[in-house]
Amino acid sequence: MSAKKSQNPDVLPQHIAIIMDGNGRWARANGRIRHAGHRAGVKATRNIVEAAAERGVKALTLFAFSSENWNRPREEVTSLMRLFLEVLQREVDALDKNNIQVKFVGARNELPERLQKHLAAAEKKTATNTGMQLILAVAYGGRWDILQSVKAVATKVEQQQLKAADIDENAIASNLSLAGMAPPDLLIRTGGEHRVSNFLLWDIAYSELYFTDTLWPDFCDQDLDLAIDFFRSRERRFGRTGEQVRVSADG
Ligand code: FPP
């Protein structure tokens, strides 16, 4: 995709979120089993984490396993859990050395206990790192996220710490998984589908959406740069008129 004239040639999306889709189709196209597609997906992930950090992206949020992915065949779920554990054990030192802070979001109590322990250990090890934040969404769903936030807010109301009439957007946002972070500027989805599949529903209200047919295992540095070029070509209005935005940018 060739980008339109750049509106903001120097602006970098501070926070990029990615729906990494297409591992299975990549495997089929290459005559391999699905698991080989996921392994190739891990390689692409490693490369894109490095590429995003090199470009100065502040936060990268990756959809690794959705609430709905539990419905996949049992063998695929088991092999994915094993793969996550293996990758975590293998990569955590490298992430730490690169000053990357790792965080996991999702219903982690649904994950195998051994994996839960390693997630917590990786978060602890990298907690004070000051480089790029890497957020991995595992057993995550946007509706789950909103629901758990609403429950937390309802509990405050029940305990009379908050009045129902005082519930505002901030009350919901501050209990979401990405609380305290700037929301994604850019959401990328690979693999050709044009939908958000229950990822970060609240947080992507004003994200620029970029869809590419490239399958996740084939997504490389140049593809990331195309997505960033696309972002630079967009005029972000946040509900205002184009004229208003241009006047405030000039002033
Ligand atoms: C999407 O392809 C991939 C997944 C749902 C699996 C998880 C992602 C990886 C293994 C990449 C690495 C991630 C980490 C955090 C190490 P798909 O299986 O939906 O592909 P299809 O739509 O072509 O079947």
What's the pLDDT tens digit per position in 186-204?
A: 999 999 999 999 999 999 9
Ligand 1 mutation pick, 19, 28, 33, 38, max ligand atoms within 8 A of CB: 38
Pick 224 or 251 by higher pLDDT: 224
Query: Which tens digit of pLDDT belongs to each residue from 79-97?
Result: 999 999 999 999 999 999 9
pLDDT at 124 over 80: yes
Please give the distance, rounded to the nearest whole angstrom, from the Cα atom of residue 21 to the centre of ligand 1: 6
**Ligand 1 pocket, mutate which of 19, 21, 23 (most atoms under 8 A from CB):** 23
Pocket test for ligand 1, best of 18, 21, 92, 95 (most atoms within 8 A of CB): 21
Per-chain mean pLDDT for the chain: 94
pLDDT in tens, 141-192: 999 999 999 999 999 999 999 999 999 999 999 999 999 999 999 999 999 9
Report the separation in Å between the CA atom of 27 and the middle of ligand 1, taken as the mean of its atom positions: 11
The rounded Å distance from CA 81 to ligand 1 centre is: 12
Tell me what pLDDT residue 236 has.
76
136 CA closest ligand 1 atom index: 15
Alpha carbons 120 and 124: distance in angstroms, whole number: 6
pLDDT-derived band of residue 9, with 50, 70 and 90 as boundaries? low
Average pLDDT over residues 115-133: 98
| Structure tokens, 20 | 């990494």
- DSSP 8-state class, residue 203: T
* Active site members: 21, 69
In the predicted model, is pLDDT for residue 3 greater than 50? no
Q: How far is the CA of 41 from the centre of ligand 1 (A)?
A: 6
By alpha-carbon position, which residue is closest to atom 22 of ligand 1? 22
In the numeric block, which tokens belong to residue 42? 């891990």
Mean pLDDT calculated for residue range 195-224: 98
**Predicted confidence band at 75 (pLDDT cuts at 50, 70, 90)?**
very high
Which residue(s) pair with 186 in the sheet? Answer: 16, 208
59, two tokens: 């936060």
* pLDDT confidence bin for 242, thresholds 50/70/90: confident
Homologous superfamily assigned to 15-142+183-235: Decaprenyl diphosphate synthase-like (3.40.1180.10)
Higher pLDDT, 5 or 128: 128
Inform me whether the pLDDT recorded for 245 exceeds 50: yes
Q: Is the pLDDT of residue 5 over 80?
A: no
Distance between CA atoms of residues 77 and 95, nearest Å: 25
Residue 34 reports pLDDT greater than 80: yes
Answer yes or no: is pLDDT of 251 > 60. Answer: no
Dig out the tokens for 166 from the structure: 């005082």
Of 3-7, 97-101, 182-186, 222-226, the range with the lowest mean pLDDT is: 3-7
Output the CA 23–ligand 1 centroid distance in Å: 5
State how far Cα 154 lies from the chain centre: 27
Count CB neighbours of 23 within 10 A.
Answer: 24
Which atom of ligand 1 lies closest to the CA of 69? 5
Q: pLDDT at position 250, please?
A: 66
Q: pLDDT-based confidence at 10, cuts 50/70/90?
A: confident
pTM: 0.92
Q: What residues line ligand 1, using a CB cutoff of 6 Å? A: 20-25, 38, 41-42, 45, 62, 64-65, 69, 80, 83, 87, 136, 191
**Residue having the nearest C-alpha atom to atom 24 of ligand 1:** 24
